[in-house]
A and B are shown apart, each in its own frame.
Chain A
């Protein structure tokens, strides 16, 4: 991240902040979209987070820590949007897919559907750890620091999230194999 740009924005330079937004918005949008599983809601959350970042920027002591600090504000904005998303997610149903076709692309689609369904059922704090670790590529220690939680908590959230996804994935694969066996 451009330290000079962060410092200029911190001192109230709106043009510098506009450049900063350009540099980080896609990354932040990608994180919000993955945690919330709703591009429209992610867009709202991103906007709220960016305005919060602008307001609180003078309080950021070390410009080199801008990215992690921005991630935390974004994740908190995702949590704040949780009541709406939880209600929304509960109404989501995976569309039925014709599972009699054993082709790999169909299997891939059903895999994604099952992963999606299992992920939506996870609490947001587990989703956040999973996305920061697997999508952003942060080590667990950095995830914990970013979210302001103990290392062990980050590790257990990742464990539960992975276990739920793996269970859904394996159940789907087992179902596919059983269907293929019946067809053979």
Chain B
């Protein structure tokens, strides 16, 4: 029995199945941490219980240096220095430049709050969707059954895009990945999962008005469920800078 045959069989068996975390499990955790305090340590961090002789000598030397320098400053000034050095005149601090993400400011842009009842009505009247599609959208992809409100937001930060969905006040990341603006009218969003780029990046038409923008998918999506979900996520704008 060769090692390769065994290793191949083990790899096949071990990598079988999906690692996608159920959305409701994540929502449960995010709800739990709202009422779960973090454990704050009261002891001073990085304080060594014992010092080695070299560290102790270095500490003594540092204290002595500070003491000598302070003495010289306080008692060694000449009479001509009374009052200290002249105070510099008022200066204008440079205004920090807002970070840009392509043609828009970096930051979080929120879409309008939608009523879940309206989304479900849209799902139920979309004739292209099967019963299984409808259940998947309502119960899994958006997880909105029995909920009231839904809002989408997009955060652009350091080349990364986080798409979050807030359902009845609980926010969870729907997807994340890298973004690029090939020009001022196009956003390309490459979704990543487990650090791996997913194929077929989203190409979206971008219309900017001040601190607000709208998105439209450049091409239709073949799968009806994916088409519905991405239409709601990307085209429910305008997205406004928070």
Instruction: Give me the interface of A with B, judged by CB distance under 8 Å.
Output: 12, 14-15, 17-19, 21-23, 25-30, 33-34, 39, 43, 46-47, 50-51, 54-59, 61, 108, 111-112, 115-116, 131, 134-135, 165-166, 169-170, 173
Judged by DSSP, the binding face of A is helix
A170 to B25 CA separation, bound complex (whole angstroms): 39
Q: Are A58 and B26 in contact (CB under 8 A)?
A: no
- Number of A-B residue pairs with CB-CB distance less than 8 Å in the complex they form: 107
Binds A, one of B7-15, B83-91, B92-100: B7-15
Q: Which residues of B contact A30 (CB under 8 A)?
A: 19
Contact of B13 among A28, A56, A112 (CB under 8 A): A112
A-facing mask of B21-56, CB < 8 A → 1, else 0? 110011011101110111111000110000000000
A170 to B1 CA separation, bound complex (whole angstroms): 7
Q: Are A112 and B38 in contact (CB under 8 A)?
A: no
Judged by DSSP, the binding face of B is mixed
Q: Are B13 and A47 in contact (CB under 8 A)?
A: no
In the complex, B194 has a CB within 8 A of chain A: yes
Q: Which residues of B contact A108 (CB under 8 A)?
A: 9, 12
Instruction: Give me the interface of B with A, judged by CB distance under 8 Å.
Output: 1, 6, 9-17, 19-22, 25-26, 28-30, 32-34, 36-41, 45-46, 162, 164, 171-173, 176, 193-194
Q: Are A27 and B10 in contact (CB under 8 A)?
A: no
Query: Min CB distance, B24 to chain A, in Å?
Result: 9
Most chain B C-beta atoms within 10 Å of own C-beta, residue among A18, A34, A59: A18
Query: Min CB distance, B133 to chain A, in Å?
Result: 23
Query: Min CB distance, B108 to chain A, in Å?
Result: 9
